[in-house]
Structure 1
């Protein structure tokens, strides 16, 4: 198969559509676009702002907790928004705010038996505000059995909602700091008890209660696992004044570990975790160095292809035309197979058949009789045919075979004169 050169002769009276600069610009734009697409695909989960109206630390909605995160940062508490499940093992206070009580909390609670952890119960059923990004409409309260299943199936909590005047204070018990007394929200959600489903369940120790003694904040079990029944003590809508902010931050400080350096807010439960992928690893250290080296190699290869010298030479055909090429290729195959020495007998037989056809020899003559007849034709005119045939059949190498074949061919030509 041959190459067909394409030149510029076919274009007359106008500029060449595919100039070198045009093609180069198209290629560069394509490469940059493809690289940008790969980078965005790798890091798109990390670029999500979290302003989806959910009840988590990235949300600026009324039911979100971004306000307490910003206030903690402004007061030097070094808040950390945890997007990676590997950071859930921090020894500092970890706050988890699931949108529903049915969400799986096992990855969060695993390995945190002796580390302070606060679970904030959900409360409100909301819908997105289409006119304001990240805002929500508070439609109603969630069914009371939704937040009650926070630690299901091991235990189901019994919750009650109460209307308050907004000025009722919560009363600290069981060693909780008595100076911390945040105000109750208008609709207060409290825990009235628990129903263990597996075993006897852990002790539910009240820390903050309302005037009726129902639980707002509790320690669950003997470890530092805390349950906050009403999220409005921390939500953006709940921290509406300076006193409430101070009380909420003091409550978090009390629950935090000794010599704590920060407060961690988990958003992996809300679907904002960072996932590892081979594509992302290619753009992060230490694999970034290998990626840059590969890009450099590709650029050098492209530069080498663009900067080639001389005209492009069309490829030659693997198989030529004509009888001579066919014979030559056949000879190469026989030589590579190592069958040259076995051709002597076959060539002698071919010469016998040609002599019978050319000299009109009777077909009844075979082998020795045919050789004797051909020897008579050689009388007085060089070597007999039988001697030439024996030389060709007994050739030990290529040179001897060629010489014997040439002698037989010459014998035939001389008899045809």
Structure 2
């Protein structure tokens, strides 16, 4: 007899499972990375912000403060409660609109660092810039709010110069710093905080506000921190205008690094993280149940079945639909009674209580488990949950009666 060849499977179940798991993990990773993409950006694009390590960026001062143990934060959104009273450092770029000082999440001092250098990205080195010179035009002040900009002007020096800083009282401040084309601030309403050796205002504040303005960014940016004297002066300047133990917050939302809220982020963060994990667990269990099938596959059947079995199923379905199952028990007990009496050859004239008494007597004689009268009473009082038990006992009683008589 020829051996039947089974059709070859295109993929094994293990291969299909591996492919599905790789797809699920990859899709989940892509979703998580998409939700946190703004925060994963390094920001080292050569801009004038705390994520940039270029010569005109402020990444060096942030790292220096970390190494010195100073509390420093790079803010991508709303400030936390611990940073509300800290020193907020704003580093706008040339051509930006005026910065916003009215913030509900900040009540501490604010330092605005005026932009200075005109730069362009260096193609060969990502994050590096090429400097085209300092912008000394009055448009630099456009980053200041209107109340601070009114009557304010910049005084620019020429060439590279060593600047010695001091407090307005004449006390020396920091260390001598070499600055190229140094700038100072002038105008009515400004109160000097740090001045140079010529009395020019380097760091100033308004008497009616808690806002500070730094005229030259080279005192804080990476270019200014290339010497030990520049690093000491930068840290001393920040410590001067911040409260003790208050954090220094460098805002980078001005440069497009703002943390955005999305539905995916809400699902991956408390308090919705628990619901997300439960949903993932349910999906995994559903997938496992669908992958591992229990039992042989069901064969397809006719839409309209034929034969006695179909007729019995339809009748049972109608009775179940009408919720009349429990009323079928006495009729089934009567049917079993007649069938058992005929099978054991009961006298023809017996009926009703007489037949019931006869069947009970026969049951006791052969040692049956039940007597018919008890089973009939159970059938009359049976609930829907007792139907199968009553029917099984009636059937077993009939079989015992037939075998006993034989």
Question: TM-score under structure 1 normalisation?
Answer: 0.65
Provide the alpha-carbon RMSD of the alignment: 3.0
Helix, strand or coil at the partner of 1:183? strand
Counterpart of 1:72? Answer: 65
What is the rounded CA distance, in whole Å, between the counterparts of 2:265 and 2:163 in structure 1? 51
Counterpart of 1:163? Answer: 158
- Residues 1:31 and 2:24 aligned together: yes
Helix, strand or coil at the partner of 1:260? coil
Deviations 1:306-333 (A, max 9, x none): 2222333355566799xxxxxxxxxxxx
**How much has 1:18 moved relative to structure 2?**
2.5
Structure 1 stretches of at least 4 aligned residues deviating more than 6 Å after TM superposition: none
**How much has 1:9 moved relative to structure 2?**
7.7
- Residues 1:226 and 2:212 aligned together: yes
Deviations 1:225-251 (A, max 9, x none): 100010000110112221221122111
8 Å Cα contact 2:94/2:115 also seen in 1 = yes
Counterpart of 1:375? Answer: none
Structure 1 residues 318 and 138, CA, compared in 2 at 3 Å: closer, same or farther? farther
- Residues 1:179 and 2:179 aligned together: no
Structure 2: gaps of 5 or more residues:
307-320, 322-406
Deviations 1:186-205 (A, max 9, x none): 211222337xxxxxxxx211
| Alignment counterpart, residue 16 of structure 1, candidates 9, 19, 26 | 9
**How much has 1:172 moved relative to structure 2?**
2.6
Deviations 1:209-237 (A, max 9, x none): 34554322110233321000100001101
Max radius of gyration: which structure? Answer: 1
8 Å Cα contact 2:92/2:254 also seen in 1 = yes
Counterpart of 2:378? Answer: none
User: Within 5 A, what are the aligned runs for 1:232-271?
Assistant: 232-257=218-243, 259-271=244-256
User: Within 5 A, what are the aligned runs for 1:54-93?
Assistant: 54-87=47-80, 90-93=84-87
Counterpart of 2:201? Answer: 215
8 Å Cα contact 1:125/1:142 also seen in 2 = yes
Structure 1 residues 154 and 318, CA, compared in 2 at 3 Å: closer, same or farther? farther
Counterpart of 2:401? Answer: none
What is the rounded CA distance, in whole Å, between the counterparts of 1:171 and 1:124 in structure 2? 25
What is the rounded CA distance, in whole Å, between the counterparts of 1:141 and 1:94 in structure 2? 25
Structure 1 residues 82 and 166, CA, compared in 2 at 3 Å: closer, same or farther? same
Structure 1 residues 142 and 276, CA, compared in 2 at 3 Å: closer, same or farther? same
What is the rounded CA distance, in whole Å, between the counterparts of 2:73 and 2:106 in structure 1? 20
Counterpart of 2:38? Answer: 45
Structure with greater contact order relative to length (CA < 8 Å, sep ≥ 6): 1
8 Å Cα contact 1:113/1:225 also seen in 2 = no
User: Within 5 A, what are the aligned runs for 1:6-405?
Assistant: 11=7, 15-87=8-80, 90-100=84-94, 102-106=96-100, 109-111=102-104, 115-142=108-135, 144-156=137-149, 157-173=152-168, 178-180=172-174, 182-183=176-177, 185-193=179-187, 203-257=189-243, 259-313=244-298, 316=301
After the TM superposition, which of the residue ranges 300-309 and 146-155 deviates more from structure 2? 146-155
Deviations 1:88-142 (A, max 9, x none): 9621211111123523522x54248852111101111111122222111112333
Counterpart of 1:407? Answer: none
8 Å Cα contact 1:98/1:269 also seen in 2 = yes
Structure 1 residues 271 and 104, CA, compared in 2 at 3 Å: closer, same or farther? farther
What is the rounded CA distance, in whole Å, between the counterparts of 2:44 and 2:84 in structure 1? 25
What is the rounded CA distance, in whole Å, between the counterparts of 1:181 and 1:37 in structure 2? 50
What is the rounded CA distance, in whole Å, between the counterparts of 1:155 and 1:225 in structure 2? 9
What is the rounded CA distance, in whole Å, between the counterparts of 2:84 and 2:39 in structure 1? 20
Helix, strand or coil at the partner of 2:289? helix
Structure 1 residues 18 and 104, CA, compared in 2 at 3 Å: closer, same or farther? farther
**How much has 1:82 moved relative to structure 2?**
1.4
Helix, strand or coil at the partner of 1:185? strand
